[in-house]
Chains A and B, each alone.
Chain A
Amino acid sequence: MRADGTAPGRPAPDGREDRELLRRCAREVVDVAEGIRAVSARTSTALFTPALTASARRRPRTGLPAQWALLRALTNKHGLGGSAITAPKGMGHVLGTAGEVLGRESLAALVAVTSLRLRIAAVLVDHPEFVRDPGMRRLTEAVTADKDLAAVRSLRALFRDQGAQRALSGLAPLMAELLAIRALLDEDPYNDETGWALATGRELSADPLHGVSAARLAGLDQGEGAAEAVGLTDQERQVIATKGSFLGFLRNIETLSTNGRILLQNVRGPDGVVRYVLQAPGMAPGRPRTDSPQDFVGAWRNLFMPDSPYTRAILLALRDYGIPRGADLALIGHSEGGIAVMNLAQSEEFCRTYRVTHVVAVGSPVDNKKPADPRTWVASITNQHDIVPVLDGRGAGSAFDPHPNWYEVDYTGPTHEFPLCHMLHEYIEHLRTVVPEARERVDEALAPYRGPVVRTQAYQLKDRANPPEGYPFLTLPTTSLPTTAGPVDVPVRYYDSSAAHLCFAVDADTARGLLPGVTWMTPSRLGRRALAVLSLYEHRCTTIGPYTEIALSVLVDDLWRPRPYDVALDLLRRVDLRRTGRYVVSLAVTSEEARAVAREIWGQPAVRASAEARLTGRDLAVRSPELGLAVDGRLGPGARCPEADWILYGRRGESTIRTLVRAHGGLRLHSGGGIRLRLDTGAAEPLAGQLRRLGIATARPRLVLTCPQFMLHRSAGAVLPR
């Protein structure tokens, strides 16, 4: 089978017809699924009806067989399935929930998942590039499993794995389908309604990711919101548009950046009437949260709430700005800004106060919202590869169009990578070059606002409810250091990483040969052997961008006073008091920023090489064709270990660089039996030659330390006079 799930030997998918056929079939199958679900519900009602319960008590000879026949029909795994019992309360509810928690899917859910899988296949016809995506690889394994239960198991594993979810973020056009499958298959019976709504195109009342209701979300989101009038910098004032236009408003939003400010402007229209324009920026994808309500978490939370800290803060800003009652108001928003302005537009009270003439949302998930004033003109501009607009559950594979009267543009832009494709400057560029007709159409609609700007005021919005990302572990004072790849804040913070450390016992003299040619650096000995560690990392979110890292290091003794068993004693010390550490003899990273930081700040011999790592599950897989290195295998049972802080050593010129690494996350120790390292290159450097010299080129590690998800920070390297 090919990676896209189609059979080999068949002609490659050539587009429209196949896609439409798959979507039609998906629609037909989901109709059937809904029908089966209704049958299950009626059969459940029959089983638990008081008429049957009471009469069966009086006439058990015929009543019990009737109850048994109904129970059998509802629970037979070759029929309606394990959790087909649906009842809002009582024993029926307990049985249905138990079936789901035990992982027995109902036939209705399995058929709905088949429909969603067909929708995914339809999207793949348009997006063959997904085949190369690491997230897609895992997704393909899951959705192409030829047995329902195998597919269910793989998908469940995939959705439990947060690392995979991040990888899947590149598959934005599929996100609605993935979220629906997740809601239908996970053990949480409370989010099934969300899964069904996504599968069948009904209106959502819950967050598609978690499937929790808006009412439950309200309890999570108690930020009060605040707004304060702030001045623009001289530089900003120079670039703020002086005349109203669609791209001008978007450029204003871009100028404001995503640091929690909005802009309000008075525009004198061609008819001489002064109108008002609210411009709301979006969130900062991939960046840590600040105290601003504009962040990714906020966007997801606020998506299904008409009221959010962002919306509340905007209302305060509007009140302060002093817009007269009944004045014409246009709302322009990007990303979460678009959600916030749609939240405003769907408030009846807001629409009674102001006449909301236009709402333009760019890269925003607004499909589940509807303005309170039917006269409001709404435009939604989205790039198909942008994950954010599909957070409301309407993806590219969807055949449902909830707003036939809106002006909606869902184009395929040249930028596919998230978060790049979500950035406003990409949207502005695409509106200029890829979909200029959309820009013209919106400008035409905004004609009453196409005049000189007569007043501009920025407001700083605040949400005091959210702590910063990684708080408190990653809340640290930082210093900016220059590198050839640009300034870098240290400590470098890693918000979401996975790691596997493969530990090998190696010949001490050979290990010594890999260390710098100085007398005072010696490998730590365990008996007559030294310890070499091949560390594999998948860093999904860091302050220097995501990257994969492969590092070979050797444990070394105290640089001044080496003693036997230093390593063992050091393990009992706090990390900042340790004298032993790991000298990094070779390092490969996949990004230029990471290479520059490792070389210039930590003194490690970093090279840039492509690599793919999958370290979040029991099956480890790391491949770097450039290095000729592959590590794969299945981890055996493991035991929990204390968190692994450590010291890394590097060299810069004649000095040794000591870097303190602190980690936070569950570390486990496994035997190395199931993991194999393979070298497929004759090259001597980098890495391969050293692995060969250490005699571990094809060896199995003694021990493997793993951490499927953790946070860490690496300090600026301290220069030692050694």
Chain B
Amino acid sequence: MVTESPDRTSYDAELLDRAEALRSDAELMDEYARRLRATADTLVGCPAAPEWSRPTLERQAAACTTAAEQLRTAAEALRAHAGAGD
């Protein structure tokens, strides 16, 4: 007798949820990049701000943007996997 795994459909549903969460996280990472850049811009006018602060924040903002792109790619791959079915 062949038995169907009862989890199979729920697994795919969970993966779709995860893909959606990853997409939201990608948006969040874009938002974080924007906030870090805004902080860097704020510090431009502050005489006590260390010199390293602006390039460091810019670099970390760029890393946030890269992470956002990679999270989108991962979300897409996960969605494709969940949609592939058996």
A residues sitting closer than 8 Å to B (CB atoms) are 1, 5-7, 10-14, 18-19, 21-22, 25, 28-29, 31-32, 35-36, 39, 42-43, 46, 49, 51-52, 54-56, 58-59, 61-63, 65-66, 68-70, 72-73, 76, 78-81, 107, 110-111, 114, 117-118, 121-122, 124-125, 143-146, 148, 151
Contacts known (A46-B22, A79-B67); A5 close to B50, Cβ less than 8 A: yes
Interface of B with A (CB < 8 Å)? 7-8, 10-12, 14-15, 18, 21-22, 25, 28-29, 32, 35-36, 39, 42-43, 46-53, 55-57, 59-60, 62-64, 66-67, 70-71, 73-74, 76-78, 80-82, 84, 86
Distance to closest chain B CB from A14 (angstroms) = 8
- Is B25 a contact of A54 with CB atoms below 8 Å? no
Nearest Cβ on chain A to B59's Cβ, whole angstroms:
7
B84 touches A43 (CB 8 A): no
The answer to whether A42 and B49 have CB atoms under 8 Å apart is no
For A25, give its contact among B29, B43, B66 (CB under 8 Å).
B43
Interchain nearest-CB distance for A326 vs B (Å): 54
A384 to B62, CA, bound (A): 37
Please tell me if the beta carbons of A29 and B81 are within 8 angstroms of each other in the complex: no
Number of A-B contacts (CB under 8 A): 180
State A11–B47 Cα separation when bound (angstroms).
Answer: 6
Residues of B within 8 A of A32 (CB): 32, 35-36, 64
Which of A36, A124, A148 is close to B56, meaning CB atoms less than 8 Å apart?
Answer: A148
8 tightest Cβ-Cβ pairs between the two chains A and B: A13-B48, A18-B48, A73-B70, A79-B67, A69-B74, A5-B50, A62-B81, A51-B11
Contacts of A122 in B (CB 8 A): 48
B76 contact set on A, CB distance < 8 A: 69
- Majority SS of interface residues in chain A? helix
CA distance A73 to B67 in the complex (A): 6
User: Least Cβ distance of B85 to chain A in Å?
Assistant: 8
State how many angstroms separate the Cβ of B55 from the closest Cβ of chain A. Answer: 6
Residue of A1, A31, A51 ringed by the most chain B CB atoms within 10 A: A51
Contact of B49 among A11, A22, A70, A76 (CB under 8 A): A22
* Minimum CB distance partner of B45 in chain A: A21
Alpha-carbon gap, A125 to B36, bound state (A): 22
Q: Which residues of A contact B86 (CB under 8 A)?
A: 58-59
Query: Could you say which of B42, B63, B84 contacts A78, with CB atoms under 8 Å apart?
Result: B63
Q: How distant is the Cα of A1 from the Cα of B11 in the complex, in angstroms?
A: 56
Is B84 a contact partner of A76 (Cβ separation < 8 A)?
no
CA distance A79 to B29 in the complex (A): 10
Q: Which residue of B lies closest to A24 (CB)?
A: B42
Write the nearest CB–CB distance from B74 to chain A, whole angstroms: 4
